[in-house]
Structure 1
Amino acid sequence: MSLLGGIRPPIAVLSVLLLALAGITALTLGRVGQEAVPKAVKLSQQHFAEDGAIALRASIDESVTDLTRTAELFSAGEPVAPDAVLDKIGSVYQKWMGTAVVEISSGKLLAARGENLPLTAIDRGALADEDGLAPRMVRLENGETRLLSFALLTWKGQPQQLLVASSSLRFPGISLGKFRSIAVVGQDGHVLSTDGIPEPEQVLTDLQREEVKQSNKQLKAFAEAAAKKTRTHPLMSKEPGSGGFLGVSGHLTGERYLGERAIGGYASLAGPEAGKPTVATRLGLSVVAMVPVAEDPRATNSSAFGLLAAAALLLIGGVTVLLLVRTVQRPLIRLFLEGRRLSRGDLDRPVPVPKSGEAARIGAALERLRRQLLGEPARKQDAPGHRRRFGSRTLIAVCGVLLLAWSAPLMLLLNRAGDTVVVPQQMVNDQRERTDTLTDRVRRALNEGHADLTSVASLMGDRTEASDMSKVLESTLNQHPRYQSLYVLDARGKVLAKAGADPRSPSGKGPSDQPIRVLDEGGKEPVILGTAEVQGRQGAAVVGEFRIDFLNSLLKRPGLGEVRVVDAKRKVIGANTGYREFEGLPSGRLDALAEGTGQKVGLSPRPSGVLYRHGDDIQIAAAAPFVGGGAAHALGWTVLSWQPASGLAIPEYSLQNRTVLAGLLGITAAAACLGWLHIVVVRPLRHLADQAEALADGDRRTVLYPRHHDEVGAVTRSLELIRQQLPTGTQRKRDGVTAGLAGRN
């Protein structure tokens, strides 16, 4: 018999699938809701650590790039005094804790600003190496860690100078909320900097002091675990095709203290593109975020529902399989044996006829054929009516209904989440804080862009040739992917030099007095322009057009849902998914949320997070306006994010999803196996029943060919052998004439 054909394989596979599904149902449905802290909260802390890693990596890379580019711009012009270099840098950038200029050959300190730098930690002899100017971390006497960045100042005929800048390893603009803490961790697992945990001396009560000590202890434990886990290759740390954060990230569960469980997330510093390391990623740093979460008292260890569902499936599946075996498999195998017996000439015993269905029709036909082989003439005889009414198709339908009776309630009725789902408040807080962090990231990116334009403009005054200006613009455009084009406009709007795409500023108009503005050209995307005046060139300015893709790339954060950047009129400027230029928000409640963040006159801007409920539709939303200084603050933009609660790993939704999945698996198994049985067995069996009855009625000319090498095919071959043994009409007539002549003689 064929391995894939016949009556046995579909029934056997159905039995195995139902047993496996029963086991899966008992295990998966019984474990939902047993965690005291929902998985959604743990994943949220993981995403929070990823946000911190992205912000820290971008800050470090931007700082190094700005220092290097500034040194190159100074080196391309006339020699400048060290104090003038540091004063110019300080007037444009306020990101460094301290700056200094050192003569490389002698090690003499030529100028310094800000905090004292540990210059003795610099190996001046290694600066000539390929990685000699790579940033490095140093520890100060007070225990704090600084990141030193280097750039060369070279002028013809003067000793080479080293520009040094120090920055702290703290997160720029990270929003922590009230109880969260975040830390930067080195490769050895040591905490290099922390935010969110006060010093024990800063608290008043013994209980608070004990809580701080417990938090520090737990954070150190998380840091050591994160340092070990982040050594894994990113491709090996997550499921294939999962996407999301490009680095290594995950979540951690800590100890329980005063009814709260410490939940942490960790993430390594990863580049913006897979497989392309940056200056920051080579430092081997990782980020750990931690927050205490109250355990859910509703968490249960009961597995009753999963066990009951599995038991019901075993009962219904057993009845289904037993029905198929007794009414289809056994009668068909008996027909196979009886057909082979008749084809071999054993005609002594009558053929046992099954009770109903195609097997009964074939059995009755075999019995008639047995009698015809014994000499009884062929005559047409109708099969009993019940044999035609209750066939194998009806049986397959009954089995399908039985399995559907178990699967349909799981898909449609049982364990519905409904409007009573309890969304942890921590999820709403995290949505708000992450949106606020993202808002600050967008604002800082625009401010950094305008600072770059200001830096270029400050060094453009003494360059009169268009070729010299174009070289500076080309260098800036290559170093910063945020710009689509850079150009210099005079007071009348004439382009003096450009790099990149064609300018899209209004023709015939001079530079705007707004540092950053948005134009609506009626095209496919908004035009964001940054302008910085060139001193000493009679109203000329450097203009940079930001790529809208750069803005949208900042908004792509896993676990935050849909994100929109809107202007003061709540028109969309950028998004992490598809949108139309200056379209409105998709709902009135999001409009109200954006308005309620405080962009109206008389209200202080503040981030907000809300939980919307409308029947079974539950949505988490947050909005955060631009807060802080810089050129981008005047834009009045707001970042909004929202996502359905049904997409979160909340116990009620997890139980509903797993219940629906169990029902879908049940229907899939039933449809696959019963469909297989219908195609391979039932349809050929019905056709064979018609052929067997036609043969018994006297059709001796139709040759019977087996379709498959299975039980039905074997019965077909037996009927063909019987047909060949039966006398045709001509033979009967000839035999009758011969018998009459013999009687006369």
Structure 2
Amino acid sequence: MSLIGGIRPPIAVLSVLLLALAGVTALTLGRVGQEAVPKAVKSSQQHFAEDGAIALRASIDESVTDLTRTADLFNAADPVPADAVLDKIGSVYQKWMGTAVVEIRSGKLMAARGENVPLAAIDRSKLSDDHGLDPRMVRLENGETRLLAFSVLAWKGQPQQLLVASSSLRFPGISLGNFRSIAVVGDDGKVLSTDGIPEPEQVSTDEERAEVKASQTQLKTFAETAAKKSRSHPLLSKEPGSGGYLGVSGHLIGDRHLGERSVAGYASLAAPEAGESTVATRLGLSVVAMVPVAEDPKRTSSSAFGLLAAGALLLIGGLTVFLLLRTVQRPLIRLFLESRRLTRGDLSRPVSVPKFGEAARIGAALERLRRQLTGEPAAKARPAGRRKLGIRTLVAVAGVLLLVWSAPLLLLLNRAGDTVQVPQQMVNDQRERTDTLSDRVRRALNEGHADLTSVASLMGAKTEPSDMDKVLESTLNQHSRYRSLYVLDHDGKVLAEAGGDPRGAGDEPSDRPVRVIDEDGKEPVIIGTAEVPGRQGAAVVGEFRIEFLNSMLKRPGLGEVRVVDENRKIIGGNNGYREFQGLPSGRLDGLVEGTGQKVGGKPRPSGVLYRDGDDIQIAAAAPFAGGGAAEKLGWSVVSWQPASALAIPEYTLQNRTVLAGMLGVTAAAACLGWLHIVVVRPLRKLAEQAEALADGDRKTVLYPVHHDEVGAVTRSLELIRQQLPSGAQRKRDGASAGLAGRN
């Protein structure tokens, strides 16, 4: 018999699939809602930590790049005093806590600004090594950690000087909200910096001090666990094909305290491109974000529904398989055995004829053929009523039985309606993450304008256009945020350029540091301008790549994200959009407008949960706030997503219920369809051929379609056809018998 054909394989596979589906149903539907903290909340903390890791990595890399590029610009110009170097840096960038210039050979301090830089931790003898200028972390006596970045000032004829900048390992612009804490963790599991947890001496009551100490202890435990997990390879730390964050990330569950459970997300610093490394990623840092989440014991559901559904499937599936075995498989195997008996010449006993269907028709035809082979009188008529209930009807009944179980799961049961409970923490996280994203976009534009200001201030009045081209080309290669860089004189004439075609040429330089122009193209044109001192209105102009802006908005777990201008027209987004189109709904317009209104002296981010029947949506908006050239744009970041996209127990139960129904329908369609192709259709055709053969058709040769039970019966009928006398032979036999009688 064929391995994939015949009556047995489809029914056997159907039995196995139904058993497996029953087990999956009992396990998956029974476990939904048994966790007091929903998976959506845990995943959100993981995404929060990833946001922090991205912001920290970008800040460190940007800081090192800015320091190196600034030193290169100084080295390309005439020598200046160390104090002038630090003053120029301080006027352009405000990111470093302390800066200093040291003569490398003697170790003499040439100039210093800000807090004292820990120069004693610098080994000047190793500065000539390949990694001698790599940033390094230094722990101060007060327990705080500083990150030191280095660059060399080298002018011809003067001793080399080391430019040093120190910064803290704190997060730039991370919105924590209430009760959340975030920490930077070293590769040894030690906490290097924290935000959101006050010191015990900063609180007034003993109860508050106890809570602070408990939070610090829990955070240290999370930090040690996160450091261990972060040492694994990113590809080995995730499920195959899961994608997502390029580094190691995940979530952790802590102890329960006063009805709340600590939930943390962790993420290692990862490069923006897979397989690459940056200055920040080589430091071995990780980020841990922790928040207490209130547990709701009422949300915990039992496994009764899963067990009942699995039991019902076993009952209905067993009845279906029994029906197929009793009414389809057994009669066909009986026909196979009876046909083989007749071909072997055993014609002494009548054929055992099944009761109904095509098997009954074939069995009746075999009995008539047996009588013809033995010379007995043939039956006068075919069995009445055996055509009414065919094998197609039996298979259809089996399909209906399986649909009785699958259809309610697919269409009716466990529907998540308008009573779905969305955790408040999800609304808070949507708001805080949107605010963090808004600050990141604002800082990126501010950094871009600061770069332009630095380039413009170092060009001065004496720089030749050929030297300008070199400076612009070097800046363009060091930063991916620019599409093109160029210098315009006061009439709008291009003096030097690098990158793409200048789209802001022809007009005199704008007095706005960052602006947007629309040339009726496919994307907005974002332009930054910085005046060149001493050149009578000339300015350095940089055009930001819109892809750079959009890439910052691609964060999982936030849904649709848009950057809108002061008129609520879209500038950028994390997926497809049309330039300067409006937001998709009026309530989002109202949300953005409301966040733009100042509360307590500055605009505040907001998050809201919209309910419209079964349609539940989480939305948040955050305006640019915090200063800098980009704040004057009046832009906002708005995000929204349906609650059904989150791993909330009600939606998870609905999705798994629908999936179970779909699997049931698929198993039934696949196996019964298989049965119809390899058994039902050949058997119906064989019934017609068997009846025609019994009625006297001796010319039609019977060929088996498959090498299975139906094919075996077909071969037996062909052998019987060859044994039966043809019409001409019967006439000759009759004539011979008449002559013998007259003689």
Superposition TM-score tier, normalisation by shorter sequence: over 0.9
The residue type equivalent to 1:580 in the other structure is R
| Partner secondary structure for residue 498 of structure 2 | strand
Partner of 2:19: 19
**Alpha-carbon distance between aligned partners in 2 of 1:649 and 1:303, rounded to the nearest angstrom:** 18
**Alpha-carbon distance between aligned partners in 1 of 2:463 and 2:186, rounded to the nearest angstrom:** 48
The residue type equivalent to 1:390 in the other structure is L
The residue type equivalent to 1:536 in the other structure is G
Partner of 1:628: 626
| Partner secondary structure for residue 488 of structure 1 | strand
The residue type equivalent to 2:640 in the other structure is W
| Partner secondary structure for residue 528 of structure 1 | strand
**Alpha-carbon distance between aligned partners in 2 of 1:698 and 1:454, rounded to the nearest angstrom:** 103
How far apart are 1:296 and its partner, in Å?
A: 1.6
Is this contact kept in 2: 1:453–1:542, CA < 8 A? yes
**CA displacement 1:511-538 (0-9 Å, x = unmatched):** 0000000001110000000000000000
The residue type equivalent to 2:119 in the other structure is L
Q: TM-score, normalised by structure 1?
A: 0.99
How far apart are 1:377 and its partner, in Å?
A: 6.3
Matched, 1:438 2:422: no
**Alpha-carbon distance between aligned partners in 2 of 1:148 and 1:577, rounded to the nearest angstrom:** 38
Partner of 1:495: 494
**Alpha-carbon distance between aligned partners in 2 of 1:130 and 1:377, rounded to the nearest angstrom:** 106
**Alpha-carbon distance between aligned partners in 1 of 2:531 and 2:645, rounded to the nearest angstrom:** 48
Partner of 1:720: 718
Is this contact kept in 2: 1:150–1:162, CA < 8 A? yes
Distance 1:29 1:570, change over 3 A: same
Residue of 574, 578, 581 corresponding to 1:580:
578
**CA displacement 1:338-376 (0-9 Å, x = unmatched):** 000011111111111111100000000000000010114
**CA displacement 1:709-729 (0-9 Å, x = unmatched):** 110001001101100110101
Partner of 1:661: 659
**Alpha-carbon distance between aligned partners in 2 of 1:255 and 1:382, rounded to the nearest angstrom:** 79
Is this contact kept in 2: 1:482–1:546, CA < 8 A? yes
Partner of 2:641: 643
**Alpha-carbon distance between aligned partners in 2 of 1:355 and 1:382, rounded to the nearest angstrom:** 13
Partner of 1:388: 387
Any residues of structure 2 matched to 1:356-371 within 5 Å, and which?
Answer: 356-371=356-371
| Partner secondary structure for residue 418 of structure 2 | helix
**Alpha-carbon distance between aligned partners in 1 of 2:298 and 2:493, rounded to the nearest angstrom:** 69
Partner of 1:166: 166
Is this contact kept in 2: 1:599–1:625, CA < 8 A? no
Partner of 2:396: 397
**Alpha-carbon distance between aligned partners in 2 of 1:402 and 1:601, rounded to the nearest angstrom:** 63
Partner of 2:527: 529
Partner of 1:109: 109
**Alpha-carbon distance between aligned partners in 1 of 2:652 and 2:162, rounded to the nearest angstrom:** 58
How far apart are 1:598 and its partner, in Å?
A: 2.4
Partner of 2:33: 33
Distance 1:192 1:732, change over 3 A: same
Is this contact kept in 2: 1:151–1:162, CA < 8 A? yes
| Partner secondary structure for residue 3 of structure 1 | coil
Partner of 2:425: 426
Matched, 1:675 2:673: yes
**Alpha-carbon distance between aligned partners in 1 of 2:603 and 2:125, rounded to the nearest angstrom:** 51
Matched, 1:60 2:66: no
**Alpha-carbon distance between aligned partners in 2 of 1:685 and 1:214, rounded to the nearest angstrom:** 75
Partner of 1:320: 320
Is this contact kept in 2: 1:380–1:696, CA < 8 A? no
**Alpha-carbon distance between aligned partners in 2 of 1:602 and 1:177, rounded to the nearest angstrom:** 16
Any residues of structure 2 matched to 1:406-417 within 5 Å, and which?
Answer: 406-417=405-416
| Partner secondary structure for residue 405 of structure 2 | helix
**CA displacement 1:303-360 (0-9 Å, x = unmatched):** 1101110111011001100000000000000000000001111111111111110000
The residue type equivalent to 1:260 in the other structure is E
Is this contact kept in 2: 1:380–1:698, CA < 8 A? no
How far apart are 1:600 and its partner, in Å?
A: 7.5
Distance 1:350 1:603, change over 3 A: farther
- Answer with 601-610 or 358-367: which moved more: 601-610
Any residues of structure 2 matched to 1:88-237 within 5 Å, and which?
Answer: 88-237=88-237
**Alpha-carbon distance between aligned partners in 2 of 1:295 and 1:61, rounded to the nearest angstrom:** 39
| Partner secondary structure for residue 116 of structure 2 | coil
Distance 1:603 1:568, change over 3 A: farther
| Partner secondary structure for residue 299 of structure 2 | coil
How far apart are 1:738 and its partner, in Å?
A: 1.1
Any residues of structure 2 matched to 1:548-567 within 5 Å, and which?
Answer: 548-567=546-565
Distance 1:135 1:291, change over 3 A: same
**Alpha-carbon distance between aligned partners in 1 of 2:358 and 2:379, rounded to the nearest angstrom:** 20
The residue type equivalent to 1:724 in the other structure is Q
The residue type equivalent to 2:308 in the other structure is L
How far apart are 1:426 and its partner, in Å?
A: 0.2
Is this contact kept in 2: 1:463–1:469, CA < 8 A? no
How far apart are 1:580 and its partner, in Å?
A: 0.6
**CA displacement 1:171-209 (0-9 Å, x = unmatched):** 000000010000000000000000000000000111100
Is this contact kept in 2: 1:435–1:623, CA < 8 A? yes
Distance 1:272 1:32, change over 3 A: same
Is this contact kept in 2: 1:379–1:696, CA < 8 A? no
Is this contact kept in 2: 1:450–1:530, CA < 8 A? yes
The residue type equivalent to 1:590 in the other structure is L
Matched, 1:78 2:78: yes
Matched, 1:270 2:278: no
Residue of 718, 730, 733 corresponding to 1:732:
730
Is this contact kept in 2: 1:484–1:544, CA < 8 A? yes
Partner of 2:695: 697
Is this contact kept in 2: 1:477–1:500, CA < 8 A? yes
Percentage of identical aligned residues? 83
Is this contact kept in 2: 1:474–1:500, CA < 8 A? yes
Is this contact kept in 1: 2:49–2:288, CA < 8 A? yes
**Alpha-carbon distance between aligned partners in 2 of 1:84 and 1:512, rounded to the nearest angstrom:** 28
- Answer with 731-740 or 426-435: which moved more: 731-740
**Alpha-carbon distance between aligned partners in 2 of 1:9 and 1:601, rounded to the nearest angstrom:** 71
Partner of 2:538: 540
The residue type equivalent to 1:487 in the other structure is Y
**Alpha-carbon distance between aligned partners in 2 of 1:131 and 1:93, rounded to the nearest angstrom:** 25
The residue type equivalent to 1:595 in the other structure is E
**Alpha-carbon distance between aligned partners in 1 of 2:171 and 2:118, rounded to the nearest angstrom:** 22
The residue type equivalent to 2:274 in the other structure is A
| Partner secondary structure for residue 387 of structure 1 | coil
Partner of 1:685: 683
**CA displacement 1:569-606 (0-9 Å, x = unmatched):** 00000000000111110111111111110248998411
How far apart are 1:665 and its partner, in Å?
A: 0.5
Is this contact kept in 2: 1:378–1:696, CA < 8 A? no
**Alpha-carbon distance between aligned partners in 1 of 2:462 and 2:574, rounded to the nearest angstrom:** 40
**Alpha-carbon distance between aligned partners in 1 of 2:380 and 2:242, rounded to the nearest angstrom:** 67
The residue type equivalent to 2:330 in the other structure is R
Is this contact kept in 2: 1:152–1:161, CA < 8 A? yes
Is this contact kept in 2: 1:565–1:639, CA < 8 A? yes
Q: TM-score, normalised by structure 2?
A: 0.99
**Alpha-carbon distance between aligned partners in 1 of 2:277 and 2:575, rounded to the nearest angstrom:** 26
| Partner secondary structure for residue 324 of structure 1 | helix
**Alpha-carbon distance between aligned partners in 2 of 1:64 and 1:176, rounded to the nearest angstrom:** 26
**Alpha-carbon distance between aligned partners in 1 of 2:97 and 2:103, rounded to the nearest angstrom:** 20
Is this contact kept in 1: 2:461–2:533, CA < 8 A? no
**Alpha-carbon distance between aligned partners in 1 of 2:505 and 2:70, rounded to the nearest angstrom:** 30
**Alpha-carbon distance between aligned partners in 1 of 2:429 and 2:61, rounded to the nearest angstrom:** 26
| Partner secondary structure for residue 167 of structure 1 | strand
**Alpha-carbon distance between aligned partners in 1 of 2:536 and 2:182, rounded to the nearest angstrom:** 48
Is this contact kept in 2: 1:45–1:265, CA < 8 A? yes
Is this contact kept in 2: 1:378–1:697, CA < 8 A? no
Partner of 2:305: 305
The Cα RMSD (Å) is: 1.2
How far apart are 1:741 and its partner, in Å?
A: 1.5
**Alpha-carbon distance between aligned partners in 2 of 1:168 and 1:371, rounded to the nearest angstrom:** 102
